[in-house]
Every structure is written in C-alpha cells, then in structure tokens.
Amino acid sequence: MLHFGWLDPAEVVAWIQAHKPPLLHLIITGRDAPQALIDAADLVTEMREIKHPFGDQGIKAQKGIEF
C-alpha cells in the first residue's frame, strides 16, 4: 500500500509513533518498503529466494496452506 502510493509513508510512520504502545511488537511485511519506514524501524530484514518447491520441483500450491 505504501509502495503504490495508496498511503503516505510519512503519515503512516507518524501515526505509528503517536499510537503504538511502547511494549507492542509491530511487524510490517511486504516488499519495497519506503525509506521513511526503514528509517523508523528497529529491525529491517530483506529475504531473497534461494530455493522454492513451486518453481524448482514443480510442486503445486496446497489449498488451505498457500491460498
């Protein structure tokens, strides 16, 4: 939502800073995080695919698991 411009990253960061309780662990997932969100975060991790059964082994997605 942030990457596509549907929400303003500065507004989201400001809202989180104003409303998140101090002991709450907030996890935000997704690709292409805006720099404002990365700068405000305590921890940022980027994952990349090394091996995946769908593409590498031809295994199909399972109803109730992947969709």
Helix boundaries (H) for the chain = 9-19, 35-40, 53-56
The DSSP code for 30 is -
- Count the domains in the chain: 1
Asked if 16 and 10 count as a contact pair (C-beta separation under 8 A), the reply is no
Domain that holds residue 28: 1-45
Q: What is the pLDDT of residues 34-64, one digit of tens each?
A: 999 999 999 999 988 898 888 788 888 889 8
Helix (H, G, I), strand (E, B) or coil at 17: helix
Q: Judge if pTM exceeds 0.75.
A: no
Domain for residue 65, yes or no? no
Q: State whether the Cα torsion 22-27-28-31 is positive or negative.
A: positive
Domain assignment present for 63: no
